[in-house]
Amino acid sequence: MALDIKIITNPGQMEVLQVIGNGLLVEFLPEKGGDIYKICIHDNNILWESPWGIAKLGHRVDYCHTSKERWLQCYPGGWQILFPNAGERQLLSWRDAQFSW
């Protein structure tokens, strides 16, 4: 199976790494730690995409009052490899854990 791999760049948007092959298209956002933005099987996207798209990080006007609102405003959709933190920043050290690592 041959794969076509390309990088898509649009002004004001994040760079997208696109992998296409055998009826499957997957788009990754390297600037967001490799988030999977789109999975299309025969042109049907199985992931949700926000209507505001994938603006570059830090390029949105901030009308938000809390970190949760800022996170939602910047959320492009897709599938996050790591679970993001929603809410105020938490300062917790591994030393504070109630169990051993």
Q: Where are the domains of the chain?
A: 4-95
Structure confidence at residue 82 as a pLDDT band (50, 70, 90): low
Structure confidence at residue 101 as a pLDDT band (50, 70, 90): low
What are 59-64's contacts with CB under 8 Å, separation 24+? 59/12
Q: pLDDT tens digits, residue range 42-57? A: 999 999 888 777 877 6
